[in-house]
Amino acid sequence: DTEVTQTPKHLVMGMTNKKSLKCEQHMGHRAMYWYKQKAKKPPELMFVYSYEKLSINESVPSRFSPECPNSSLLNLHLHALQPEDSALYLCASSQEVADLSYTFGSGTRLTVV
């Protein structure tokens, strides 16, 4: 299995909702990442997990809460989002944090209404 699987593929949520994005990989990768990509912009790093521990938080607002329950799973919990948070949320993994090769999931396209 050489894939990163993200669910759901599409999500529409209200500003008062609580939802979660899920990312899963079974490649034995020990580094996992969340990126946010707005239309016509490059992906921007949000969080880095290394060996299930949060190693980088790029000053992301607390309405985004990451969680790494085990080495294969990475979640992003969403609460009280704003319409400007609408974007493509990409999960990626790599063998180690310093590894050169990332595998990206196909993303969750989030719309906040």
Partner 1 sequence: RKEVEQDPGPFNVPEGATVAFNCTYSNSASQSFFWYRQDCRKEPKLLMSVYSSGNEDGRFTAQLNRASQYISLLIRDSKLSDSATYLCVVNGKNSGYALNFGKGTSLLVTP
Q: Which stretch binds partner 1 (CB under 8 A): 19-27, 39-47, 70-78, 79-87?
A: 39-47
90 binds partner 1 (CB under 8 A): yes
Task: Give the residue, chosen from 13, 27, 80, 97, that forms a contact with partner 1 under the rule CB under 8 A.
Answer: 97
- Using CB under 8 A as the binding rule, whether residue 107 contacts partner 1 is answered as yes
Q: Which two tokens stand for residue 93?
A: 């993994």
Q: Which of 19, 30, 44, 86 binds partner 1 (CB under 8 A)?
A: 44
83 versus 100: smaller Cβ distance to partner 1? 100
Nearest to 42 by CA among 104, 95, 99: 104
How far apart, in whole angstroms, are the C-alpha atoms of residue 96 and residue 28? 10
Which distant-in-sequence residues (6+ apart) come within 8 Å of 98 by Cβ? none
The Cα 83–Cα 86 span in angstroms is 6
Using CB under 8 A as the criterion, which residues of the chain lie in contact with partner 1 when the complex forms? 33, 41-45, 48, 55-56, 88, 90, 92, 97-102, 104-107, 109
